[in-house]
Amino acid sequence: MIKKNLFLLFFLSIFVSQKVNSSDNDVYKKIDLFGEVLEKINKEYVDEINQSESMDSAINGLLQSLDPYSAYMSPEIYNEMQTETSGEFGGLGIEVGMESGVVKVISPIDDTPASKAGIKAGDYIVKIDGIQVQGKSLSEAVDLMRGPVDSGIELTVRRSGVKKALTFYIVRKIIQIKSVKVDLLEKNIGYIRLTSFNENSGKQIKDEIIKFENSKNIKSYILDLRNNPGGLLSQAIKISDFFLNDVEIVYKKSRKSYENRKWFAKKGDLTNGKTLLVLINYGSASASEIVAGALKDHKRAILLGENSYGKGSVQSIIPLKNDGAIRLTVAKYYLPSGKSISEVGVSPDIEISEGSDDFRIKTETDNQLNYAIKLLNG
């Protein structure tokens, strides 16, 4: 089978090269070279290789050379991803990406095993149950982290500012994603915690704002976007619109100019212009950064916390003939000011770092929230 594929690649390169320019010629020479390398590996490598896995790795390597977010998903991984988007799945409760060949935690999800164990945004996972992660694809690393519910896993991570590697033993659980949580703080602050942007987030937040406004006790709001890895662009636009009035929210720029688009807020602010403070940290990514950036650019909110992650790009899931898929970056986001979020993130107006290693969101150790409350109530 592999010889037949190699012959097809070789034949294609010869046939097409007669009708293309020199740049295309170079591409087909590389395809021919790839076929030659694969054949040499198959014949000469010290151990027998799994040809299917080798091809998957080659495809994944191509995609990951583009950026940290593009990746290949085998049919098994794609099927699991579709299960996750339904709102319930087994696992640890972390959003991860690749950076320089290492798995990086984008954000731990609230009230999940990873969050409770102490995993933080920005941690680099270097070992999974003693197995080195470097050199593996993101899909392979994610597969190692999966397992039966109630089974244990050991993660070894490297953390900025900490000399020694940290080890965490975590028990896998069914992950229930609850994207919106609210509370009344100090009898006059409407606290809204958003952990992800799913299809119901906008409606839930709108309903909660209306309840707060009807109580007539609310003087200000806190929108907590910390450790929110993002989600649906449509929901980020809806939620931004609740606090803005007839201004630009975000601009999406694609390779194809006809796909470029701007979104604007409608007239009317659900909170009637009440003071708004937004909490962000390194775990605030993608859709979180769109909301925080738009509110900051229009001076509608005060941002407090730490610089956000810097994921200002759009990924599309493109199904393949083998029932797998590729996740491919197809556009970038730009804030109303024209600034790109990618690799830079959104900076807070007031920088407050996490107070200690015992820091937990919305507990006594949450110095960022405590500072926000004092700021709002003087």
Q: Which residues are catalytic?
A: 286, 297, 311
What amino acid occupies position 151?
S
Phi-psi region of 222 (alpha: psi -120 to 50; beta: other; left: phi over 0): beta
Please give the Cα distance from 80 to 86 (Å, whole number).
10
Count of residues for the chain?
378
Coil, helix or strand at residue 155: strand
Residue 216 phi, psi dihedral angles, 5° rounding: 65, 10
**How do strand 220-224 and strand 189-194 relate by DSSP bridges?**
parallel
Residue with token string 């197995």: 131
Please give the Cα distance from 283 to 354 (Å, whole number).
12
Please give the Cα distance from 247 to 53 (Å, whole number).
49
Nearest to 197 by CA among 144, 235, 160, 170: 235
Residue 224 phi, psi dihedral angles, 5° rounding: -100, 110
The enclosing H or E element of 241 equals helix 233-243
Is residue 237 within 8 Å of 263, Cβ to Cβ? yes
Please give the Cα distance from 238 to 266 (Å, whole number).
10
Is residue 143 within 8 Å of 96, Cβ to Cβ? no
